Chains A and B, each alone.
Chain A
């Protein structure tokens, strides 16, 4: 481990500002959960593709937190308001209930203290929107069973021994976690690669990525 405690989202497609915004399907699922005109904080906002989309298409007031200089520069080029920082430090400055939606996209497996971050997200915002890769996907289960290897999920470039290190968990694990912490699930969207699942049957087997909107009970 590199000693870095911060998470980093997988690289997001870069688009120059001004062009019609095309968004990756998991980011679009997040965007669908954000009410128009909301105050939005995007944690680990990468190159700002999602935030720019939300500002342009949903007229949100957007703020981002990003660790990398490269991501920061891309965000500023898009005309976004972004702070460099890691999530642990970044959230403490925000007053209670200063946002409507706080987004954590594809970053949860990299966090050292997911419970703390989610609690903080629901302190500064009334709604937390979280997406993560699902190790419960049937191919992951099969790989563990047949090959006896820790499965590599779709959309995750890093191997288990590469930085940043990840913690595998499934949709079922996440639901238990929310229940344990007293977070209510407002909305859920499941994706199989880029396609949205229409039915929730066997979601933990069929989904490669899950998107949840949470609130405090």
Chain B
């Protein structure tokens, strides 16, 4: 068992299901076969009660911690919080993270071949929802032989998935940790999503989603979408600190239209970088899924959505400078959970980092997460996994037994 704070080298895994009977989606459409890419860290205990599902945000992947290559400097997206001795302590917990349905990091999405034609789905891929993403995760948890997760935790869109789990599968988890998220996507959030999508549609290379064989991708459109997104992840204060009005590589204004200000270069760089790692069609589908997210749609109120989920424990976190998912979205959620009689711990964490704070306020979050999880371990009497003598190869043995 490693103790250096890193889970070390990790193995990408895949589960494929719905090969015979198709997977039904919220829209009424069906999909199949469905592949879910996932990774696991730590050991499942004998009673299978120490599993935590980590759910990722818009541009995330199943690669939440560790690295794929032995000498790789780049680690998973939440490596700060997942590992031995970290908030999600892999000495205690069996951590699972999977790529969302519609994504482009190994789970079935618009860039995958449509079995009907053999060509990439493109816009023929059915529209998916947060509910569909979670339903695919339920299939994964079933496959891993886990009846009940100790907890589901995630930030932003990951928080929506955690809420969806709590509201619709209360018997399959003990606790939910929705971070910097909302119970329903507001008109402002939908508007911001739509600006990103319009940027992609407007790129001639998008070609109605059929660009996979063309050699030319809608990079310009996707880059603009990412730039808009990136602005919403920061705060005015963090931009002021990070860039101010500083110029990139000159001391005086050039009175011209190239990227002069540091903030311009930064956004351009971020946008460009994103096109190398993300699929434009996936961006359309995943943002659309977020826009459809509304926990109160079926029940009339957020509190009613949790009527059967009041026995779960909740840790809700927001950040003071997050204007994308402002604190009052979390407070509304906390009010609804309190009204439903649930056990809720809530903190609006002081931070100047904007929405990105959920990835950056590691110290405060570690205190909160580890305190909350420790209480869960005690109240649920969760046994620690027995350290194996051989290097862990989980969960293959568990899978074979299941």
Contact = CB atoms under 8 A, between A and B. Distances in A.
B348 A84 contact: yes
B345 A76 contact: yes
Nearest to B367: A73
B348 A95 contact: no
A98 B310 CA distance: 13
A83 B346 contact: yes
Nearest to B379: A79
A81 B347 contact: no
Contacts of A79: 371, 374-375, 378
Interface string B13-33: 000000000000000000000
23 contacts: A69-B349, A69-B350, A73-B347, A73-B364, A73-B367, A76-B345, A76-B367, A76-B368, A76-B371, A77-B367, A77-B371, A78-B371, A79-B371, A81-B313, A81-B343, A81-B345, A82-B345, A82-B346, A83-B344, A83-B345, A85-B346, A93-B338, A98-B341
A72 B338 contact: no
Interface of A: 63, 69, 72-73, 76-85, 92-95, 98
B130 interface: no
A73 B341 contact: no
B338 A83 contact: yes
Interface residues of B, number: 23
A84 B331 CA distance: 9
A89 B371 CA distance: 25
Interface in B330-366: 331, 334-335, 338-339, 341, 343-350, 364
Nearest to A69: B350
B372 interface: yes
Interface string B367-390: 110011011001000000000000
A95 B339 contact: yes
B39 to A, nearest CB: 28
A180 B220 CA distance: 71
Contacts of A82: 345-346
Which of B331, B338, B346, B367 is most buried by chain A, counting CB atoms within 10 A of its CB?
Answer: B338
Contact of A63 (B343, B364, B367, B374): B343
Contacts of B338: 83, 93-94
B343 A93 contact: no
Nearest to B364: A73
Contacts of B339: 93-95
A80 B371 CA distance: 9
Contacts of A80: 345, 375
A69 B351 CA distance: 11
